[in-house]
Structure 1
């Protein structure tokens, strides 16, 4: 399971702000986020056991993440949920990615999962529990973990929502500063009044802070390679900006080609 907060289309000039803690077995091998080979360009971490990811961003500004959830019937050999998350990062838009996630989850090949897909124009959570459902996200603060999106009956959802909304979240600086403190707070023995989970074999294994603004040079990717209350965040923003710049360069090339084509067409008309 994981827990994630997304502030969607609220902060000025920054459509997507994310804070997320990953929870996993400590023994599961993991590769820290880096730029992956292939196209489109993607920055994400890799689960070395199955080859998938839990969270990433591609060159088109598409953010995708997955959180495990309960499901009554799980196939004997389920396909990796992280592999599906990695596949979602191959799409150009969040809407296409969400539709693909719903289609895949409907095959019944997966254990329970929630996926979130977001870009500057569209965001949705795909519930893949006992039924598959796409929930489109309106502008605002949204929370996701192992149940339905924005379920405030979940003690950690309620805690995160209450702590974050004590502040006016109108800028990336404010959101990331507040979220870094909230997501670093250990939960009590009942999993309440905190976010970080610590168990003998399973718990919080990493944390991510993400800002996807309109200006690429202001994009932020910070990653803590362990519980954020004991591991400082490392700044991977330069890698994120490199990925986003690849998408912007391709768009400029496409716009340039379109302009040339229109110019030639106009000359032919004359």
Structure 2
């Protein structure tokens, strides 16, 4: 279902930091991040089952990332994949305002989602259930599986870790954020959200890093943009809670 931690203009050398986990069933076929053959300007992982992605960036500095809204009582069985929303934004020559209109006009067709999208210096979060747009002004943000103004325990833990990381030199950011993203601390029962799923699953999903027999965190991604508008991308993939391959790293100038 994914979680994102975002710092906008909170580090002296990195005006944008995004740290994200993708949570998914282990059996869902996935391609690790890379530049796509069919769209050479896009850097992203790929969901091979539906063809979309959970997070990506273009060489021109457009960013899109997705989290699902957890609402089992409102699941549409035949809804299109939400991963196409990120791909469509990254591949189309469309303004933020025009893409917002597209999302609004189609919002009832999809299961619940939060879509982070925009140019790297002007990001927004759209929630299709509330039909609301949040502009990410300078500050810290955590986006999980409800609206952006919710503050679940794992969101608070992650933001605290992100705030601490922003006190470190830029070359220490990745290691610090990996520690945040690999935090498997579960919330106490009295602090668990009530999203309509059984309490044992609420507990399992209450950590930043999730491990269950069939479902859990599949990758951690860290994206930074520096003052010279260079993008750095770091991805660590996992299987059953353990690193499954060496990290993948990419650096390029926005242009």
Shift of 1:117: 1.3
After superposition, the Cα gap between the structure-2 partners of 1:118 and 1:11, relative to the gap in structure 1 and judged at 3 Å, is: farther
Asked which structure has the greater CA Rg, the reply is 1
Residue 88 of structure 1: aligned partner:
89
Residue 176 of structure 1: aligned partner:
174
- In structure 1, distance between residues paired with 2:43 and 2:77: 31
Shift of 1:148: 1.5
Deviations 1:191-236 (A, max 9, x none): 48842111121111111111122435x5311111116973276132
Deviations 1:11-65 (A, max 9, x none): 2353321110100011100011111134571011110100000000012111110
- In structure 1, distance between residues paired with 2:240 and 2:139: 25
- In structure 2, distance between residues paired with 1:20 and 1:156: 13
Contact 1:9-1:140 at 8 Å conserved across structures? yes
Cα RMSD (Å) of the superposition? 2.7
Match of 2:222 among 201, 205, 209: 209
TM-score with structure 1 length normalisation? 0.77
- In structure 1, distance between residues paired with 2:179 and 2:240: 9
Residue 162 of structure 1: aligned partner:
160
For the pair 1:110 / 2:110, whether they are aligned, the reply is yes
- In structure 2, distance between residues paired with 1:228 and 1:21: 14
Residue 226 of structure 1: aligned partner:
238
Q: What 5-or-longer segments of structure 1 have no aligned partner?
A: 249-270
- In structure 1, distance between residues paired with 2:184 and 2:81: 29
Contact 1:67-1:115 at 8 Å conserved across structures? yes
Residue 147 of structure 2: aligned partner:
148
Residue 250 of structure 2: aligned partner:
237
- In structure 2, distance between residues paired with 1:175 and 1:37: 30
- In structure 1, distance between residues paired with 2:59 and 2:101: 19
Normalized per residue, the structure richer in helix is 1
Shift of 1:77: 1.1
Residue 195 of structure 1: aligned partner:
208
Residue 2 of structure 1: aligned partner:
2
Q: 1:164 aligns to what SS in structure 2?
A: helix
TM-score with structure 2 length normalisation? 0.81
After superposition, the Cα gap between the structure-2 partners of 1:233 and 1:113, relative to the gap in structure 1 and judged at 3 Å, is: farther
Residue 195 of structure 2: aligned partner:
none
- In structure 1, distance between residues paired with 2:227 and 2:131: 32
- In structure 1, distance between residues paired with 2:184 and 2:153: 13
Aligned residue pairs: how many?
238
Q: 1:225 aligns to what SS in structure 2?
A: strand
- In structure 2, distance between residues paired with 1:90 and 1:115: 15
Runs (4+) of structure 1 exceeding 4 A deviation are 91-94, 191-194
Shift of 1:9: 2.2
Normalized per residue, the structure richer in strand is 2
Shift of 1:170: 6.5
After superposition, the Cα gap between the structure-2 partners of 1:207 and 1:61, relative to the gap in structure 1 and judged at 3 Å, is: same
Shift of 1:171: 4.9
Contact 2:63-2:120 at 8 Å conserved across structures? no
Of the structure 1 ranges 164-173 and 78-87, higher mean CA displacement relative to structure 2 is found in 164-173
- In structure 2, distance between residues paired with 1:228 and 1:28: 13
